[in-house]
Amino acid sequence: MATIQDFEKLDIRTGKIIEVSPFPEARKPAYKLLIDFGDKIGIKKSSAQLVQNYKPEQLLNKNILAVVNFPSRQIGPFISEVLTLGVPDHDGETILIIPEKSTPLGAKLY
């Protein structure tokens, strides 16, 4: 069973997607994202399997949640620096977890 101390180790922050590009080299359909987490964390890269539910223009400027303190991960030729968070829809495809209201970039989930 996980403890509150385990949860506190995760650094989950709000960010805004500022760039979306295709990722044809990925094994499963995905986008390359640039996400702005504000001055303290800066701009980070993420690969996200969102192709089934989102077009690039729907993602641009969208506020999201991401884990920012996992190690970077090599995904094909791309380095993903943060884990963009989502949940599966009824077909098992990713839907983003997004803040209900506007938040400062880099706001920490608690």
Instruction: For domain 16-96, give the CATH superfamily.
Output: Nucleic acid-binding proteins (2.40.50.140)
What is this structure's pTM? 0.95
Residues 3-52 have pLDDT tens digits of 999 999 999 999 999 999 999 999 999 999 999 999 999 999 999 999 99
Residues 61-104 have pLDDT tens digits of 999 999 999 999 999 999 999 999 999 999 999 999 999 999 99
* Residue ranges covered by each domain of the chain: 16-96
Instruction: Output the six-digit token pair for 38.
Output: 């504000």
The CB density around residue 30, as the number of other CB atoms within 10 Å, is 22
CA-CA distance, 53 to 50, in Å (whole number)?
6
Q: What Cα–Cα distance (Å) separates residue 109 from each residue in 5, 14, 47, 64?
A: 14, 8, 21, 11
